[in-house]
Structure 1
Amino acid sequence: MIIFTLYVTYLAMMKKNFIVILGILLSSLGFSQNFSVELKWEDEKLFSNDYQKMKSPYFNEENFVIHPEGRLDFVKQWEVNQPINEASIQIVNPVFETISTSRLLDLNSDELLSSINPVLSNGLARDKRYAMLRLNPIIKESGVIKRLVSFDVSYQNASNFSQNTFSNQPITNSVLSSGDWYRFSIHRTGVFRIDAGFLSSLGINTSNINPQTIRIFGRGGKAMPFTNAENLFFDPEEIAIQVVGENDGSFDSGDYILFYAVGHEGWNEESDTNINSYIDNTFYYLNVNAQNGKRITQLNEPVGTPNETIDTFLDFQFHENDDQTPTKIGRRWFGEDFDVENVQTFPFEFPNIDTSRQGRIKVNAISTADSPTSMQINIDAAVIDILNFTSVGGPIVARADSTNSLFTPTSSTMNVVLDYNNNGNPASEA
C-alpha cells in the first residue's frame, strides 16, 4: 500500500513583477527583556519514523524541529510572568556561516527562505504563561546558503494587560443558531460560482431576497489539530464574496456569486498526508435577508519600479487513496495493493517544467510479510530508491518504509514505477 507526493519546479508561463514594500514596526511601551542564543551545529543526524527517513544537519535538541517536507525550525519556549508584546521581537547581532548545498543533506533547498522570519507568541498551559520564539535557522540569501550560529533576542512585555487576558472563551451561541441557513458542499479548493439555479436547488426563492444580504460562512475542509488546545475556532466564519449584479437590490437570472473555498485536500504537516481522512466533502453555509454580507474589496496595485522578478515556482502533485489500513488501528491509511499486481505505474505531467532544477519525490509504503521484502522506486528508467521491509511477527503486524529523495526531471511527463519484490512469497502483501 502506498501514498506519494511529487514536487517539481515550474518555469512560470508569464513573468510577474512585484514591488517589495518595506515598513517600520514600532514596539509598544513595556519592560525590555533580552537573552542570547547559540546554535551548536552537527553535520548529520538521521531521523526516521514508520513512514519516513531523512538525514539533516542538526543543532540543540531542545530547539530543533524538522518538518516532513524537508525544512527546519528553531523553537524556544520559556516561562513568563505576564503576556509579552508579540510585535516587539527583535533579533540582534545575528551571526551566520556559509555552507554548501551538499551540507543540507535531505533538506529541501527550495523550502529555504531569504530571512529568518522570527515569530514571537504567547501561550498558556496548566495555568502557566509561556512565550515561544520560532525562526528559520537556515536561509538562502541571493543564492548563498547560510546557517545561523548565534543571535541575541530582545522583546518587551505587553503594556496594559489584565489577569483575564488568557481566560477561557465565554460560552456563546453559534452564528448558525438563528436565521435560515442553507448548506452545500464543495469537493476541492478553488473559486466557485453560484447562480440563481443553484440557489433555487437549495430551496431559496431568489425573487424574495436582497442579494446584498447574501452571506457565506465556513472554515474549509482542512483537518483540525489532534490536540484540543490547538483548536482556536468556535464557529464558522463569514468569508468575503463577490455578488455580481447585486446593486439593483434583486437577484436576477444573470446574477451570480463568486467565492474562494478550501477543500479537504492539501498538505497536512501534522498527519503527513494530503487528504483529510475524516471527511469526503467540505461544507459551507449560506444565509440571506439577515444583514448585509461581507464583500471582496478591491486593492490598489502598487506603482513604481519592481525590484524583484519571479519566473519560477514550486509545484506539486500527489497520488493518495486512503482506502485501507492493514493494521486495523491508527490514523494512517494507504491505497493500492501490490500482492497480485507487483508492478504499478503512476503517470504525472508538469507542463513547462524547469529541467535545470531538481525535483523531489516522497513515497510512504507498508508491508505485511513474514519474510523480508522490498519495493523499488523508479521515475521512468531511473532508479530513485529501494524501500526495505523487515518481516512481521509477534505483536508487529506491519512494517513501513519511506523515501524523500531528489531526482532530475528530464521532461514534462514522467512515470513513477513502483516494483514490489515479495521475495518469492506469494502471501506477502504491500
Structure 2
Amino acid sequence: MRKLFFLILIHPVILLYSQTENVNIQWNREDIHHFFPNALYEDGENTLPYFTRKIAWTPEGMLPVVSLKVTKTTEIATSILHGIDQSHLKKSPLLEYSLAREAGKSFVLVKVLPFIRQADGKVLQVDDFELLLEQEAALAPLKSAKAGSWMDHSLLASGSWFKVSVEESGIHKLSYEQLQEMGLSNPASVSIYGSGATSLPEQFSHGYIDDLEAIPLYIHKGADGIFGPGDHILFYAQGPVHWEKDEESGMYLHQLHSYSWKGHYFVTDGKGEASGPEDAVLSTDVPTHTVAAYDFLDFHEDESYNLIHSGRVWYGDVFSVNLTEEYPFYIQGRVEGEPVKIHVVAAARSGVSSTFSIGANNEQLGTISISGTNLSHYTSTYAYESSEQFSYLTDFNEVYVRVTYNRPDANSQGWLNSISLNGRSELTLSGSQLAFRDSRSAGPGNISQFQVNEANSEIIIWEVSDPQHPQNIAYVLEGEIANFTLETNVHREFIAFR
C-alpha cells in the first residue's frame, strides 16, 4: 500500500466579502498509513489525498464563489505514483466547494485534489496555491424583491392557448391551415410565447424569466400581403440540446436537458400580431477574418439507465456481455486536413481500476482510465465516471467511433454516458437550413466576414446567439455567396434557411 502525505500551512487573510487563503503544502512521502489534519483519502487505499478546509463565511445570505490559482508546482517521479490511481487528474486541480451551516454559522467546505496531469502524461504536485472566496449574490432574492417586480399571474391564465413542441433547435414552420386546425379564430394575429427547452438556472441568485416571453416571427403573407391560405409563419425554437464551449479543451460539448426531451411553445391569437426580428448591427470595418467554414457539432447520448435509481445522470449502452460498441457519425461538407475532435464520457463499476479503449474507423485513439471502488461496502461510490478527449485525422466524412470496455473481471461493468464530436465543415447551405458558429474567428477586436455558399436572394439569415431575440442579417449576395460582416469579439451563432 502506498500513499502520499502532506502537511498544510495556511496564512489566512480575513476580509468581510473577499477572502484569500494562501496554501503551502509541505510534502512528505511515506509508505505506511499515517493520518494528519486536512488530508482526505476517498474510497480506500491506493488513492491520492485531497486537501480539505472549512472556512468561516461571514456574508450571511450571500453565495460564495471559490476560485483557485496555482502558484508553484513540482514534477512527481513516476516511481512514486506506481500503483496509485491517477484517473481523476486533469490539466488543473480538481476544486469542489459547498456552503454549510453549523451551530448557526455559515462555512465554506473546500476540497482540492492538488495534482495536475499535463498533456505529455507527466504529473505535477501543487506546492502552493491561492483560494479566493468572493460573494456572488443574495441567496434569497425573492425576499428583497420590490413589490410589483414579479408577475401577478401567468399569461396563460386568460385567453386561448395552444401548445406546440419541438425536439431540436432550429427554424420551425406553422402553416395557416395548421393554425386554423388548432382552433385560432384569427390566425392573422398569431403570436408565440415560450423559451423552449431552456433549463432554469440551478442557482437561485441567477436571473431567469419570470413568465412567458414573446418570440419574433417571420410571417410569409404571399403576393397579396394578407396572411391566408397557403401562407405560413417561421420561428426559431430551442430544443433540449445545448452546446457550450469548454475553454480548457477547446471543444464544444453538448448538454441535454435533464428533465425533458422536448421544448414547448404556446400559440395564441389574442395578443395581436407578433413582430419580426430586429436587424443586426453589421460592421463596415475591414475584416480581420474571413469565415468560409464552421464548427461541425454532433453527439451521441442515450438516456436508458440510472445506476442507483436516483439523481439526474443517466447512461446508455451497458458494457457487460457486449464489450465493444460502434457509433456512426457523418460530417457533412468536411474540410480536408482538419482534425476531428472526440470527447467520450464513460463510467465503470469495478473493484480495481479499469479502462475503456477508444478508436475511430480502424485507428486506435487512446484510453479512458476509471478508478475502482469497494464493491462490498454499501457506502462506497457505486461507480466512477471519467472522460477524455481525442483528436483524429481522417480522409472520410464517415467517422465510426469504437468504444471497448477492457473488463478486468466478471464482476466489472461499464456504461457509456456520451460522445461529443467536433469537426470543420464548409459553410454551405446545401439543405433547407444550416446552423453555424465559428470559434476560430471569435476574439477581442475581431471583425469577421462570413461567406455562406449556395445562397440566393430567397434565403434568410438570423443571428441566434440570444435565441429568445434572433436578429435578421442583411447580407450582400455576390453570385451564390451571401456575405455579411460583423464584430466577433465573442462567440456568435447563426442560422441560414430557405
- Is the counterpart of residue 125 in structure 1 residue 138 in structure 2? yes
- Partners of 1:419 and 1:400 lie apart in 2 by 17
- In 2: Cα distance, 1:243 partner to 1:387 partner: 53
Higher mean alpha-carbon deviation, 398-407 vs 353-362, is at: 353-362
Partners of 2:208 and 2:88 in 1: CA distance: 32
Deviation at 1:258, TM superposition (A): 0.8
In structure 2, the partner of 1:339 is: 320
Measured after TM superposition, the shift of residue 191 of structure 1 is: 0.4
Q: 1:290 to 1:353 in 2, by over 3 A?
A: closer
Cα 1:418–1:261, aligned 2, differ >3 Å: closer, same or farther? Answer: same
Q: How do 1:127-142 residues align onto structure 2 when only pairs under 5 Å count?
A: none
> Quick check: 1:393 aligned with 2:379?
no
The 1:382–1:327 alpha-carbon spacing in structure 2 relative to 1, beyond 3 Å, is same
Task: Give 1:239's match in structure 2, choosing from 197, 210, 215.
Answer: 215
Is 1:176 aligned to 2:211, yes or no? no
Matched, 1:56 2:91: yes
Q: Which amino acid aligns with 1:330?
A: G
Cα shift at 1:44: 8.8
Note if contact 1:323-1:334 (Cα within 8 Å) is conserved in structure 2: yes
**CA separation of 1:280/1:126 partners in 2, compared to 1, >3 Å: closer, same or farther?**
closer
Which residue, out of 237, 259, 263, partners 2:235? 259
Would the aligned equivalents of 1:347 and 1:414 in 2 still touch at CA under 8 Å?
yes
* CA 410–179 in structure 1, closer or farther in 2 if over 3 Å, else same: same
Report Cα offsets for 1:82-124 as digits up to 9, x if no partner: xxxxxxxxxxxxxxxxxxxx98889xxxxxxxxxxxxxxx964
Moved more, 390-399 or 275-284: 390-399
Equivalent position SS for 1:230:
coil
Task: Provide, for residues 378-414 of structure 1, a one-character-per-residue CA deviation record: whole Å limited to 9, x for no partner.
Answer: 1232232233341433122522232232313223322
Q: CA deviation at 1:343?
A: 0.7
Secondary structure of residue in 2 paired with 1:374: strand
Contact 2:356 2:406 (8 Å CA) reproduced: yes
1:417 equivalent in alignment to 2:402: yes
Counterparts in 2 of 1:301 and 1:247: CA distance versus 1, 3 Å: farther
Counterpart secondary structure, 1:239: coil
Matched, 1:192 2:172: yes
CA distance in 2: counterparts of 1:167 and 1:230, whole angstroms: 19
Tell me which residue corresponds to 2:366: 384
Q: Contact 1:222 / 1:265 at 8 angstroms: preserved in 2?
A: no
**CA shift for structure 1 position 195:** 0.3
1:219 Cα deviation (Å)? 0.8
Report whether the alignment pairs 1:326 with 2:307: yes
Contact 1:369 1:398 in 2 (8 A): no
Determine if contact 2:168/2:239 at 8 Å carries over to the other structure.
yes
Which of 371, 390, 404 aligns to 2:388? It is 404
Residues 425 and 217 (structure 1), Cα distance of their counterparts in 2 relative to 1, 3 Å cut: same
List alignment gaps of at least 5 residues for structure 1.
1-37, 47-51, 63-101, 107-121, 129-163
User: Once the 2 structures are TM-superposed, how far is the Cα of residue 203 of structure 1 from its aligned partner?
Assistant: 2.2
Q: Which residue of 2 aligns with 1:8?
A: none
Q: Secondary structure at the match of 2:310?
A: coil
Q: 2:201 & 2:74 partners in 1: Cα distance?
A: 31
The letter of the residue matching 1:379 is A
Q: Are the structure 2 counterparts of residues 197 and 269 from structure 1 closer, same or farther at C-alpha, using a change threshold of 3 Å? A: same
- Tell me the alpha carbon deviations over residues 177-220 of structure 1, each in whole angstroms, 9 at most, x when there is no partner: 22211111111100011102321332224xxx261x21110112
CA deviation vs aligned residue, 1:64-84 (integer Å, no higher than 9, x gap): xxxxxxxxxxxxxxxxxxxxx
Which position in structure 2 is the counterpart of 1:161? none
**3-state SS in 1 of match to 2:178:** helix
Residues in 2 aligned to 1:351 and 1:240: alpha-carbon distance in whole angstroms: 30
Greater CA deviation, 283-292 or 341-350? Answer: 283-292
Give the SS at the match of 2:205.
helix
TM-score (norm 2): 0.51
The 8 Å contact of residues 171 and 236 in structure 2, kept in 1 or not, is answered as yes
- Please list the CA deviations of residues 7-62 of structure 1 after superposition, one character each: whole Å capped at 9, or x if unmatched: xxxxxxxxxxxxxxxxxxxxxxxxxxxxxxx976556999xxxxx94633579x89
In structure 2, the CA distance between the partners of 1:169 and 1:385, relative to structure 1 (3 Å rule), is: same
Structure 2 CA distance, aligned partners of 1:247 and 1:175? 34
Q: Distance in 1 between matches of 2:169 and 2:245?
A: 18
- Supply the AA of the counterpart residue of 2:174: I
* C-alpha separation in 1, matches of 2:392 and 2:414: 31
In the TM superposition, residue 329 of structure 1 has moved relative to its aligned partner by 2.0
* SS of residue in 1 equivalent to 2:326: strand
Are residue 360 (structure 1) and residue 341 (structure 2) matched? yes
Q: Could you report, residue by residue, the CA deviation over 1:307-345 in whole angstroms, capped at 9, with x for unpaired residues?
A: 431234333211111111112222211111111211100
- Paired residue type of 2:256: I
Deviations 1:286-322 (A, max 9, x none): 1114323222234575556434312343332111111
The question of whether the paired residues in 1 share the 8 Å contact of 2:160 and 2:268 is answered with yes
The answer on whether the counterparts of 1:374 and 1:388 sit within 8 Å (CA) in structure 2 is yes
Aligned residues: 297
1:58–1:275 Cα change, 3 Å: closer
Secondary structure at 1:228's aligned position in 2?
A: coil
Q: Which has the higher contact order (CA 8 A, sep 6+)?
A: 1
* Distance (whole Å) between structure 1 residues aligned to residue 391 and residue 383 of structure 2: 26
8 A contact 2:348–2:370 mirrored in 1: no
CA distance in structure 1 between the aligned counterparts of 2:277 and 2:231, rounded to whole angstroms: 16
**Cα distance change on mapping 1:351 and 1:168 into 2, 3 Å:** same
* Same amino acid, percent of matched pairs: 19
Measure the CA separation in 2 of the matches of 1:264 and 1:171: 26
Q: Which letter maps to 1:417?
A: R
Q: Assess if the C-alpha contact under 8 Å between 1:224 and 1:231 holds in 2.
A: no
Q: Identify the residue that residue 297 of structure 2 maps to in structure 1.
A: 316
Quick check: 2:368–2:388 contact (8 Å CA) kept in 1? no
1:294 to 263, 275, 282: 275
Query: d(CA) in 1 for partners of 2:320 and 2:195?
Result: 40
Letter in 1 for 2:170: G
Alpha carbons of structure 1 residues 349 and 44: separation in structure 2 relative to 1, 3 Å? farther
